[in-house]
Amino acid sequence: MRRRLVWSSLALVPALGVTLAVSPASAGSTPARVSLNERAAAAALAALRRLPLGHMTNQRAPGHTRQIRGLNQAGSYNWAGYVDDNSTANTYRKVTGQWTEPAVTCGQEDQIVIFFVGIDGWNSSTVEQAGTFAQCYQGAAHYYSWWEMYPATPITIVGSTVAAGDKIAASVVKTGTSYTLAVNDSTNTANTFTKTQTCAATTCLAASADWIAEAPSGARGDYPLPDFKTWTLTNATVRSGTTLGKISTFPDDEITMFDSSATYPLVQPGPLNATGNVFSDAWKNSY
């Protein structure tokens, strides 16, 4: 049985796994001028620097795969949302999506939830992803923009001033062996970035397109999820070969995140809209 543990302090976790491309908010300030909010943000970033976040491939929950009205439904221990799969030999060149960053409600323990669009990870061992990240640290919520190219590069946090309500657009575009990962925070452009990475076709198979809310894993299990109410993904597009479509254009899977015993849902996706490019993930439980 998998374990989902309560992490009483992320700062106590050994150092591994997260790259920070940002500096604490208090950098360059004298101690007397550092606000309490800046100190909290700096402490949260320092905790992330020591945090061993696992790479974010799907971890399937057994016993929850079925097909309803032509839609594949599957269970996962760490993913919730929608995936276009390669059951008909599709490979994917582009995935996009937009959302308003949800406000998280922090519990007594430290918690993490990640929102992303990406390629791979559903039924392959690499991920090429970009999105936003909400961390509850010592009772306060902190939000970031980030990208990852596993196994070459771990989770890399770029912007540390994302806030609840920010308008986010994310994309991953594959051109040959080149991947362009981008997040645009139109509310606060300091969190906006574009990164280009390379990955050989024999390594990065481009076997799925993903729109996902995730509970990342650590050294001892998956981190508990903060209550984010709902995450609504809009304006999803995906390209396979020369065909540009929506989530529903290609064989798609609806993924529910389950607890470690695969008994009850942690995050439940709703149905796709009639156009096939919008859905909402609803938070149900932390662990």
| Domains and their CATH numbers in the chain | 10-283 (2.60.120.700)
Count of all residues that appear for the chain in the document:
287
Yes or no: say if 97 and 170 are a contact pair by the CB < 8 Å rule: yes
Instruction: Give how far Cα 92 sits from Cα of 39, 164, 242, 245, 281, Å.
Output: 42, 30, 10, 11, 23
Torsion of CA 9, 12, 18, 24, to 10 degrees: 80
Give the span between the Cα atoms of 156 and 285, in whole angstroms: 27
pLDDT in tens, the chain (287 residues): 454 544 444 433 333 357 767 644 444 444 545 687 888 898 998 887 777 665 567 776 765 565 555 568 999 999 999 999 999 999 999 999 999 999 999 988 889 999 999 999 999 999 999 999 999 999 999 999 999 998 888 889 999 999 999 999 999 999 999 999 999 999 999 999 999 999 999 999 999 999 999 998 876 677 899 999 999 999 999 999 999 999 999 999 999 999 988 899 999 999 999 999 999 999 999 99
User: Could you give the residue ranges of the DSSP H alpha helices within 71-114?
Assistant: none
Q: What is the CA radius of gyration of the chain?
A: 18
How many C-beta atoms surround the C-beta of residue 75 within 10 A? 20
The position carrying tokens 């543990």 is 5
How would you label 18-54 residue by residue, b for 16+ Cβ within 10 Å and e otherwise? bebebebbbeeeeeeebeeeeebbbbbbebbeebbbb
Confirm if 10 and 48 have CB atoms less than 8 A apart.
yes
Peptide bond into 216 cis (omega under 30): no
DSSP state of 10: G
In DSSP terms, 212 is beta-bridged to: 81, 116
Please report where in the chains the tokens 């902190």 appear, as a residue: 142
Both structure tokens of 98: 């937009």
Cα dihedral 267/156/10/257 (nearest 10): 10
Cα–Cα dist 145/162, whole Å:
7
